[in-house]
Amino acid sequence: MNILDTIIAAKQIEVAERKKQRPLEQLLQAELFQRETFSLKEFLKDQSRTGIIAEFKRRSPSKGTINDRADVVSVTNSYVANGASALSILTDHSFFGGSTADLEAARIHHIPILRKDFIVDAYQIAEAKAMGADVILLIAACLTPGEVKHLASYAKSLHLEVLLELHDEAELEHICEETEMVGINNRNLKTFEVDIERSLNMAKRIPDSRLKIAESGIRSVEDVLMFKQQGFDGFLIGENFMKMPDPAIAFAEFVQALNPRS
């Protein structure tokens, strides 16, 4: 199996176990489940912000350990203070070193939070809201178009927004009425190779009615400016900051370079 297949197989087992540990009925009663959510769409449209969805990620299958010392609260404090439009928090533990606790800890901030995980079951969407997430990620590479529509509809019923992630032109058929934001992953999830040209080529095929977000492999201010010129509304960046000794400082310096007059 390729890396993605391995992750999905493990995720299905994990979800079955999590359902036993915390039934859906308990999720629906969680305190954070009752809160009003923030809109990623609206925050990305806010020109006073950077458009950056700043990610907290400890490790990945392709890079191994990225940063196992950073504190989620201190790092996200800097992300928010320096103009991040949203946060992305990895909650997968087995492959990315994340946890539910990381997202819950980041919920102190009053900006949208994306639950970054491999969603294969509606249970995970209710779970995301119970954690305090505002947005979920649906990855086309591991879902059929019908599954995307079903899961996105359920998310919207819970007042959660949906970011649909594509990485291949064949996945354009996954775009549906319920997916108003489309992310293009520069990283092939089956091989984990990065190709920024993928986003630029695919962007022309995505309807103008959708917000476009570039994901993965963004390493410089020049990359962000290039994607902006190509009509992208958001930029999901994590490893570029998390690999530094102090991600908080790295993000602040990146934003200063992006907006030198601010």
Q: List, in sequence order, every residue forming a beta bridge with 71; answer none if it has no partner.
A: none
116 noted as active-site residue: yes
216 noted as active-site residue: yes
190 noted as active-site residue: no
Q: Where are the alpha helices (DSSP H) in 194-246?
A: 197-203, 221-229, 239-242
Set 82, 215, 239, 240: catalytic member:
215
204 noted as active-site residue: no
165 noted as active-site residue: yes
Set 11, 14, 57, 104: catalytic member:
57
Set 14, 55, 127, 161: catalytic member:
55
Beta strands in the chain (DSSP E): 52-56, 59-60, 64-65, 86-90, 113-116, 135-139, 161-166, 181-185, 211-215, 234-237
CA-CA distance, 148 to 162, in Å (whole number)?
10
Element holding 147 (H helix, E strand): helix 145-157
Set 60, 188, 216, 240: catalytic member:
216
CA-CA distance, 116 to 242, in Å (whole number)?
15
Residue 82, burial from CB neighbour count under 10 angstroms (0-12, 13-18, 19+): buried
243 noted as active-site residue: no
Set 14, 104, 127, 165: catalytic member:
165
Set 11, 60, 67, 116: catalytic member:
116
> Strand 234-237 to strand 211-215: parallel, antiparallel, or no bridges (unpaired)?
parallel
42 noted as active-site residue: no
Set 88, 185, 186, 188: catalytic member:
185
**Active site residues per annotation:** 55, 57, 116, 165, 185, 215-216
